[in-house]
Structure 1
Amino acid sequence: MSTAPATTHLTTHVLDASAGTPAVAVLAVLWAAGGEEIARAKTDTDGRAALGPERLPVGTYVLTFATGAYFARRDVETFYPEVAVTFAVADAPDGSLRHHHVPLLLSPFAYSTYRGS
């Protein structure tokens, strides 16, 4: 059995834990540690978004989510107008390309994230 090669770009999945639904149309922006914008996308109807490039060089990145605008559209007060997740990209030990997935579990007054697959 063969497997398809992994996608090497960055993906995210935003879930609204307070509503029990995907968070639709949340703007996600990927930044290099030095402040240069790399990519941006809005989550789809399943709360998912993909951001390029096809390969992220080794380094530190920041993925920001416009959570305030999302909750404002729903007329919900929030404590977090923006969530910024800083993460490091490293080479895989075997030299293969890595797919990076940064999910966000969101509510108006809390959030959590982890390294997904």
Structure 2
Amino acid sequence: MSIEHVLPRNPKPASRWEQDFTPEEREHWTHRLGNLLLLNRKKNSQARNYDFARKKSGYFTTATGSAVFALTTQVLTYDEWTPATVEARHQELTGLLIKEWELT
């Protein structure tokens, strides 16, 4: 198992990532919880810097169209991966952790 950055750490120039995220947004969101999911190591190394649609269809699902890990399954419901998407997912996940760990 490994951690996948949906928004890649080093997107290719002129990629969809460069269009959807400013440099500041990429710096802010790349390593945050809302941008991360679990993949097996083989799929993670194959996913690379591909755009979201390709990652989602080719690497985040199994042959049956489902995901192996719950955090990955959540991502399959999104049609796009934008700063607003990452922020919403980040807020949802951190809220769940705060509630579960009784941090408030």
With normalisation by structure 1, the TM-score equals 0.22
Name which one, 1 or 2, has greater alpha-carbon Rg. Answer: 1
| Higher helix residue share | 2
| Higher strand residue share | 1
With normalisation by structure 2, the TM-score equals 0.23
